[in-house]
Structure 1
Amino acid sequence: MGAAGCFSEEQFREACAELQHPSLSGAKWELLVETLGISIYRQLDQQTGLYEYKVFGVLEDCSPELLADVYMDLDYRKQWDEYVKELYEKECNGEAVVYWEVKYPFPMSNRDYVYVRQRRELDFEGKKVLVILARSTSVLQFPEKSGVIRVKQYKQSLAIQSDGKKGSKVFMCYFDNPGGQIPSWLINWAAKRLES
C-alpha cells in the first residue's frame, strides 16, 4: 500500500464518532482492564490470531493539544522510550513517512515500522476533536534491513477532546502484527503483562 492518498475524511470522522459513542457492540470486544479512569478492550483478529485494542478514558490535567503534540513529537519520544533504536520522518513521494526501529530483547530480532500519519482538528457534534491516524505503508526509500523484521500490518487511530475541565477525553484503537517467528500466544501474553 503506497503513501499516496493517506486517510479519508470518513476515517477521521469514524475516530470522532468512536470517542463520542464507543462502538463495542456487535463485535467480540472484551474488557481487558479498567483502571485510573481508563478502559482497555480487546478483540481477537481471526486472520492473525492477535488482538486489536480499543482504549477509552479521561486523562486529567493534560490538555488535548499537549497530548497530540507529545504523540507527534518524534524527538521527544526518543528521550523517554528506551526501546527506540531509530526514529525519524522523511519526505517520500510528497508525503511525510516515519521510520521507527524498535529494540527487541535477545534472541528476537528488532522490528521496524514504516508508516504515514496525519493530524487534523475537526468540529464534530459541536465539539473540537483532535484526531491522529497512522498506518503502515511501503515506499522504496525505506527498503527492509537485514536482521530486522518489518512490521507490515500496523494501524492506529487517536481522538482527543477536552473533558470540560483541564483534562482530555481520549479514544485510541491499535493493532500491529510484529511478524517473524513469535507465537501469537506469546505476543498476546506480553501485551497483557504490559497492560497490568
Structure 2
Amino acid sequence: MDPGAGCFSEEQFREACAELQHPSLSGAKWELLVETLGISIYRQLDQQTGLYEYKVFGVLEDCSPELLADVYMDLDYRKQWDEYVKGDERNKIVSLCFWLVDFPSRRELDFEGKKVLVILARSTSVLQFPEKSGVIRVKQYKQSLAIQSDGKKGSKVFMCYFDNPSGQIPSWLINWAAKSGVPNFLKDMSKACQNYRKKT
C-alpha cells in the first residue's frame, strides 16, 4: 500500500498523465525559460508571491520509467546524489531552507493505452518539527512527476514544481537559481540512475 495514497485524489494523478501526453501551456502565461539536453522548461508567474511555477517536458535517455521512479522514491539513496537533501527521510534542507514533505505517493496508471508512472508530493505541517532560528521554512511546496517509456530505453518525462520560502529569500534569487537548478537536478538524476543499476 502506498503510504501517501490518501493524500492525493485520482484526478490529480490523471492530470499529471494528461500533461505528459498533451502539455497544457495555452490559456495561461507560460513562457519558455530554457531548452537543454532534450528538456524544455516553462515558467508561469504567481502574482501573489512573485515566484514562478515550473513545467518541465522532455526525454531522459538511458533511464527506464521504472528505474527513474525507483531512484526518485529511494529517499536514502537520494541523500547520496542530490546535494540539497539532508536529514532523515522526511526532512529536506537546502541552504538553510527546510521542507517538510508528505511521503511521495507513487502510482502506475493506464492512460490512453499507455503505462504511466506518476509521483506526487506536497508540503505538510507537523507540530513536532517547530521552526528554528536561522532556518528558512518553505511553507508551500508541490511537485508532480509523470513518466512513461520513450519507446526506446529512456523515459518521456513531465514535471511540475513550485515552492515558496514565504518571502525570506528574494524572489529574483529563487527564480534565477531555478534556471540552472532544474537542468542540473535532471542531469544528477540521470547519473544517479546509472549508478543505481550498479548499486542494486
CA distance in 1, matches of 2:138, 2:115: 33
C-alpha separation between the residues in 1 aligned to 2:49 and 2:108? Answer: 33
By percentage of residues, which structure has more strand? 1
- Is there any run of 5+ residues in structure 2 with no aligned partner, and where? 179-196
Cα offsets for 1:67-110 (capped at 9, x unmatched): 1111111111111223333xxx67999999998589xxx99xxx
Secondary structure of the corresponding residue to residue 40 of structure 2? strand
Aligned residues between the structures: 175
Deviation at 1:15, TM superposition (A): 0.2
Q: Is the 8 A contact 2:97 2:135 kept in 1?
A: no
Structure 1 segments of 4+ aligned residues over 3 angstroms from their partners:
89-102, 193-196
TM (norm. structure 2) is 0.75
Q: TM-score, normalised by structure 1?
A: 0.76
Call closer, same or farther: CA 1:18–1:4 in 2, change over 3 Å.
Answer: closer
- CA shift, 1:19, in A, is 0.2
- Contact 1:4–1:95 (8 Å) recurs in 2: no
| CA distance in 2 between partners of 1:194 and 1:186 (Å) | 37
- Per-residue deviation at 1:9? 0.2
Judged with a 3 Å threshold, the aligned counterparts in structure 2 of structure 1 residues 97 and 133 are, in CA distance, closer, same or farther, namely: farther
Given the superposition, is the C-alpha separation of residues 99 and 6 from structure 1 closer, same or farther in structure 2, using an over 3 Å criterion?
A: farther
- 1:4 and 1:140 mapped to 2: Cα distance? 22
Structure 1 residue 60: Cα displacement? 1.2
2:17 is paired with a residue of what secondary structure? helix
CA distance in 1, matches of 2:144, 2:96: 16
RMSD, aligned α-carbons: 7.2
Flag the 1:138–1:126 CA change in 2: closer, same or farther, 3 A.
same
C-alpha contact (below 8 Å) 1:91/1:97 kept by paired residues: no
Checking the alignment, whether the CA contact within 8 Å between 2:98 and 2:138 is kept in structure 1 is no
CA–CA distance in 2 between the matches of 1:76 and 1:143?
26
Local SS of the residue matching 2:5: coil
Per the alignment, in what secondary structure is the counterpart of residue 145 of structure 2? Answer: strand
Alpha-carbon distance in structure 2 between the residues aligned to 1:147 and 1:29:
34
Question: Who is 1:20 aligned against?
Answer: 21
Q: Percent identity?
A: 90
Of 139-148 and 172-181, the range deviating more from structure 2: 139-148
